[in-house]
Amino acid sequence: MTPKISFQGVSKRFDTTGGTAFTALNNLDLDIEDGEFITVVGPSGCGKSTAMNIAAGLTPPSGGQVLVDNAPVKGPGPERGVIFQQYALFPWLTVRDNVEFGLTISGRSKVERRKIADHFIDLVGLKDFADALPKTLSGGMKQRCAIARAYAVNPKILLMDEPFGALDALTRVQLQNQLLSMWSKERRTVMFITHDVDEAVFLASRVVVMAARPGRLREIIEVALPYPRTEEIRLSPEFAELRNRVWRAVYHPAPQ
């Protein structure tokens, strides 16, 4: 089967003020299957965001290419929804108008847009806040709104860069559960970056571990835990075992 997303020898170099090039990402090869949920973990500065931004079409690679459905990425596209840690909502628009915003370019009627927006607002649990402005919402609610907005456009791929990184532990767990329940219904392909090892294992069927200086792939760890991922699974010895394995790969890797 053709992978949904294929990183092929992807590198990114930045010029430094000293004139030497800094390698943020070195020769990344990675295939992500259609409908797969992968997470990417690694220390700060290992090139996670760089890799995702290249797949999103927001940054060009210095070498190699990313293919989406076998076609090289040349820029952003509607089939790839991007969610960042900072919610990026329009402060002057209500929750509903923020969610509808992405649909305005889709050529749908006002009635259709409203229906789709309300469906996703409901799905992320913001029904009672559809008319609220972002400044009146908690961080977790703002991020729910951002997720609803990304989902409403119906992208086949979700690229998420530490989307829950700024949230407290309880909200984070709630949003993880919600994201997995949406994913199991709609089976988008998800590339989810996190620096939280528990989160990486809980969500993914494969955890991609990266290393820094230069940013590169270190190891891919299969997470052979069944979906749906329940609280029971989160507390199981199998989960703990996998979490420890990922933790070691990130923080105490065997010498290479």
- The footprint of ligand ADP (CB under 6 A) covers 14, 22, 24, 42, 44-50, 215
Task: Report the alpha-carbon distance of residue 13 to residue 63 in Å, rounded.
Answer: 9
Question: 173 is written with which tokens?
Answer: 């767990």
* Min CB(176)–ligand ADP separation in Å: 20
**Residue 95 site contact among Mg ion, ligand ADP, none (CB < 5 to 8 Å, cut-off depends on kind):** none
Question: 159 is written with which tokens?
Answer: 């690229």
User: Which C-beta is closer to Mg ion: that of 12 or that of 48?
Assistant: 48
Task: Report the alpha-carbon distance of residue 8 to residue 29 in Å, rounded.
Answer: 5
User: Which C-beta is closer to ligand ADP: that of 46 or that of 191?
Assistant: 46
Which amino acid appears at position 152 of this protein?
A
* Min CB(14)–ligand ADP separation in Å: 3
Task: Report the alpha-carbon distance of residue 173 to residue 6 in Å, rounded.
Answer: 29
**Residue 215 site contact among Mg ion, ligand ADP, none (CB < 5 to 8 Å, cut-off depends on kind):** ligand ADP
**Residue 242 site contact among ligand ADP, Mg ion, none (CB < 5 to 8 Å, cut-off depends on kind):** none
Question: 29 is written with which tokens?
Answer: 């090869």
> Look-up: residue for tokens 């009635």?
111
User: Which C-beta is closer to Mg ion: that of 49 or that of 143?
Assistant: 49
User: Which C-beta is closer to Mg ion: that of 6 or that of 49?
Assistant: 49
User: Which C-beta is closer to Mg ion: that of 58 or that of 93?
Assistant: 58
Task: Give how far Cα 66 sits from Cα of 33, 51, 55, 151, 236, Å.
Answer: 14, 9, 6, 23, 36
* Min CB(220)–ligand ADP separation in Å: 16
Strand 71-72 to 63-68 pairing: antiparallel
* Min CB(173)–Mg ion separation in Å: 22
**Residue 11 site contact among ligand ADP, Mg ion, none (CB < 5 to 8 Å, cut-off depends on kind):** none
* Min CB(91)–ligand ADP separation in Å: 26
Binding flag, residue 194, Mg ion (CB under 5 A): no
Report CA Rg, the chain.
19
Show contacts with Mg ion in window 40-59 (CB under 5 A).
Answer: 48-49
Question: 153 is written with which tokens?
Answer: 């456009």
CA angle 167, 51, 178 (to 5 degrees): 35
Task: Give how far Cα 18 sits from Cα of 21, 23, 45, 62, 221, Å.
Answer: 9, 14, 19, 19, 37
User: Which C-beta is closer to ligand ADP: that of 12 or that of 156?
Assistant: 12
C-alpha closest to that of 159 among 64, 76, 234, 221: 76
**Residue 243 site contact among ligand ADP, Mg ion, none (CB < 5 to 8 Å, cut-off depends on kind):** none
* Min CB(200)–ligand ADP separation in Å: 13
Residues that bind Mg ion (CB under 5 A): 48-49
